[in-house]
């Protein structure tokens, strides 16, 4: 189905965006382009004079003045290209979505719920682009670091795009006989699993934004302590989300709670009527969760090497996508089993 392939291509492009975004963040490239020019910014500097002008604009902001004083033009180009590629891919994703959308609309292939869903995806994509610039602007200030709250919002919007697209694809591929079923027993639990994974992703974004992955690189204890005692008595509900050490503590231990919930979800799925495809999704979700926890520990202990840091972010996206599919398949699970059984019965009867 062309529409399904088109939507899935969008998911893969967003995953590529997540990877390049992770590289941009870990290489300190995110504030290298200090302007947002939607059209003219499509082309990079094409001459030495344009490069010097772009570099001079960068020098006017605190990141250069406080962190990169004395950086050469060659060094600036090294961080510029990652941010430029990140923005260019964002523009490309927009074109890949909008042009086929118009084509399918003109051909009369879109109507009803599908058109509304695609318009929602379009709005989410626009919000994602706007939040990217809002995030960058937060770092073009006296403190040359982007807001970890805005970083989390930027990442959550990207994952939301993946989730809505995958849900739409699942709706398109689910037989009509299964769509209007009442929720299966696993449905409520699947939403708790998805919510827990999303919360863990937000905590991970906070860790990244506060750069707290580079501190306390021991596991399971934090330099011999469950929690650094020198911080006790200094944390309040208001400032705990601003403290990198506290956020790292929450992220490392909440991961185990999420993993425990995934194990329980898998266990319940083995004792609940659910289609074979749903069972496989939940099994893959559990295996991905185990891999993500192991990857997170390795990333922490090795002080966030680039490859592991980016891979950790990519697997988080895969985990979230699988959780979305698990929710969808849990909703239609009991009807899917009944429908599949009835189809097999009809096949046998015809023979």
Output the pLDDT for position 338.
47
DSSP-derived 3-state class of residue 139: helix
**pLDDT at site 275:** 83
- The answer to whether the CB of 331 falls within 8 A of the CB of 194 is no
| Mean pLDDT (the chain, rounded) | 91
Q: Distances in Å between the alpha carbon of 143 and those of 31, 63, 147, 273? A: 12, 8, 10, 54
Domain limits of the chain?
1-173, 178-230+240-351
273: left (phi over 0), alpha (psi -120 to 50) or beta: beta
Q: Look at the block and give the residue holding tokens 């290209």.
A: 81
131: closest CA among 167, 161, 155? 155
Residues 130, 312: Cα–Cα separation, whole Å: 25
pLDDT tens digits for range 34-60? 998 888 788 999 999 999 999 999 999
End-to-end CA distance of the chain: 30
pTM score, whole prediction: 0.91
- At residue 238, the pLDDT reads 78
Taken in order 96, 101, 102, 107, the sign of the CA dihedral is positive
Mean pLDDT, range 71-86, rounded to an integer:
96
Rounded Cα distance, 16 and 275, in Å: 31
């Amino acid at each position: 189905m062309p529409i399904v392939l088109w939507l899935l291509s969008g998911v893969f492009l967003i995953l590529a965006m997540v990877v390049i975004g992770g590289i941009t963040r870990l290489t300190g490239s995110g504030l290298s382009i200090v302007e947002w020019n939607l059209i003219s910014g499509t082309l990079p500097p094409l001459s030495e004079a344009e490069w010097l002008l772009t570099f001079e604009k960068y020098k006017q902001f605190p990141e250069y003045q406080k962190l990169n004083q004395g950086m050469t033009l060659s060094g600036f180009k090294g961080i510029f290209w990652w941010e430029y590629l990140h923005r260019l891919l964002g523009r490309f994703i927009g074109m890949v979505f909008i042009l086929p959308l118009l084509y399918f609309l003109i051909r009369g292939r879109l109507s009803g719920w599908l058109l509304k869903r695609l318009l929602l995806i379009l709005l989410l994509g626009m919000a994602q682009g706007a939040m990217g610039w809002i995030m960058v602007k937060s770092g073009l200030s006296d403190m040359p670091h982007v807001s970890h709250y805005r970083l989390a919002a930027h990442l959550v919007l990207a994952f939301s795009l993946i989730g809505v697209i995958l849900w739409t694809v699942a709706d398109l591929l689910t037989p009509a006989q299964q769509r209007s079923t009442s929720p299966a027993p696993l449905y409520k639990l699947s939403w708790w699993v998805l919510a827990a994974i999303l919360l863990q992703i937000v905590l991970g974004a906070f860790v990244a934004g506060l750069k707290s992955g580079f501190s306390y690189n021991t596991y399971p204890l934090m330099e011999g302590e469950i929690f650094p005692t020198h911080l006790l008595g200094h944390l309040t509900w208001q400032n705990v989300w601003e403290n990198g050490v506290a956020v790292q503590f929450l992220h490392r231990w909440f991961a185990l709670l999420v993993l425990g919930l995934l194990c329980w979800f898998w266990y319940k799925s083995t004792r609940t009527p659910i289609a074979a495809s749903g069972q496989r999704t939940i099994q893959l979700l559990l295996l991905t969760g185990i891999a993500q926890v192991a990857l997170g520990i390795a990333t922490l202990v090795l002080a966030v090497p680039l490859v592991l840091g980016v891979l950790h972010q990519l697997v988080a996206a895969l985990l979230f996508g699988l959780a979305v599919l698990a929710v969808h398949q849990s909703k239609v699970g009991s009807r899917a089993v009944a429908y599949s059984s009835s189809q097999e019965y009809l096949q046998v009867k015809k023979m």
